[in-house]
Structure 1
């Protein structure tokens, strides 16, 4: 028969082996967790870098337009360049620009054509672009907006509501901008898709401080916004990093 000391020695040996296996598994798990945390940190850093780059780009566009006597507003947090009523002014119920207002839009198009192509995936080799900016823009939405005066009278024959009017303003702007500067229409993102598209919001997104409870002919809301979306990390990268930390 085995002695008590032999039994205890055997149990101690099993305990030591089990503890060693646990320690090894813990070290491996800790290393894998640290690697996943590093991946997640890198992805978050890319988001922050995208926001920083977008803010710098918006500031460059704003400064370039200011030198040409066109004042625009920017919202760096949301990536918006706003053509307010002092930049380009739409008349009530109209989606078209003429004369001086059209000329000002053409200046906007020229500035965009000088800066934006450096952020597309088909970046031109003109010696003016930085390698770090290539492929950074995923989408640019030309967004049409209106004031909250309802469509009526003769305009009702052309537009059912402000939503249609805002979409028409966005499409008019897109056509004029790309006709003036065809390079903008040729910009592609990393998926080889056109960067620029249009959207209309009617009266639904007034400028902060200009949400009127009653119909008001407010030129600041009759506007075009350019909304810039930067290329995010891939879904696979983000999903793997997040799932590894759940």
Structure 2
């Protein structure tokens, strides 16, 4: 007796096909739902804000140098943001005068003694003979330039053509001569140029509009050069310095 297999009817085939299509459709809908949820989660996440910002190398150098001067008894003011150390102008000069007072000479000699100890830690030409007590310098910062800037109040001088511009420059020159009387006159940057320079701003950059006495000041402005390294901030500053050097050349 022969038993013949019955072929599935067309209805069964249609049911199986529709069931397969329904399963595939459910899978696609599930995947789409998961994708939408992931997108919403990513959009809802707030960008991570770094908690530890890299230290400002200029602020660190100025603070280290200024602290040395303050500990030695020189009443300087430190501005980390602008990289400036302000010398006690009322101690250095009499009002309207470009020549140093006796107290000013003593203050500058104290300053020079401390600068001779700490500046070599950041000067290119002194790298082979670094002092043993240098401040930490993980970013390998170097000082490109130290500008001695002379500032005056807005009271005009009645000396013919001699103006506040000349007074500011003469005061800066007097400080320059005192600081460069020793080993610091030989400090050179990577381009073999002298590190110290002078400039005058007269009364064009007042530090205090209410107290004119504070505008009569001499400032040491530090300009840094950076060695190429892995630190992102170091690389950026190095690139900026190179562009400045190209313009000067």
Structure 1 unaligned residues grouped into runs of 5+: 1-47, 212-217, 239-246
SS in 1 for 2:125: coil
Q: How far apart, in 2, do the equivalents of 1:221 and 1:234 lie? A: 34
1:198-213 correspondence to structure 2 within 5 Å = 198-210=198-210
Q: How far apart, in 2, do the equivalents of 1:148 and 1:125 lie? A: 43
- The match for 2:195 is 195
**Quick one: which of 132, 135, 153 aligns to 1:127?**
132
**Quick one: which of 117, 121, 126 aligns to 1:118?**
121
**Quick one: which of 86, 107, 112 aligns to 1:82?**
86
- The match for 2:217 is 223
SS in 1 for 2:202: coil
Residues paired across the two proteins, number = 177
TM-score normalised by the chain length of structure 2: 0.63
Q: How far apart, in 1, do the equivalents of 2:72 and 2:169 lie? A: 28
- The match for 1:42 is none
- The match for 1:70 is 74
1:100 matched to 2:103: yes
- The match for 2:32 is none
C-alpha contact (below 8 Å) 1:113/1:184 kept by paired residues = yes
TM-score normalised by the chain length of structure 1: 0.64
Q: How far apart, in 2, do the equivalents of 1:98 and 1:82 lie? A: 17
1:53 matched to 2:60: no
1:94-130, Cα deviation, whole Å (9 max, x unpaired) = 1111212210111111111111111111122443446
Q: How far apart, in 2, do the equivalents of 1:82 and 1:187 lie? A: 21
The structure that has the greater radius of gyration is 2
Q: What is the Cα deviation at residue 135 of structure 1?
A: 6.2
Change (3 A) 1:114 1:178: same
Q: What is the Cα deviation at residue 235 of structure 1?
A: 5.9
CA RMSD of aligned residues (A): 2.6
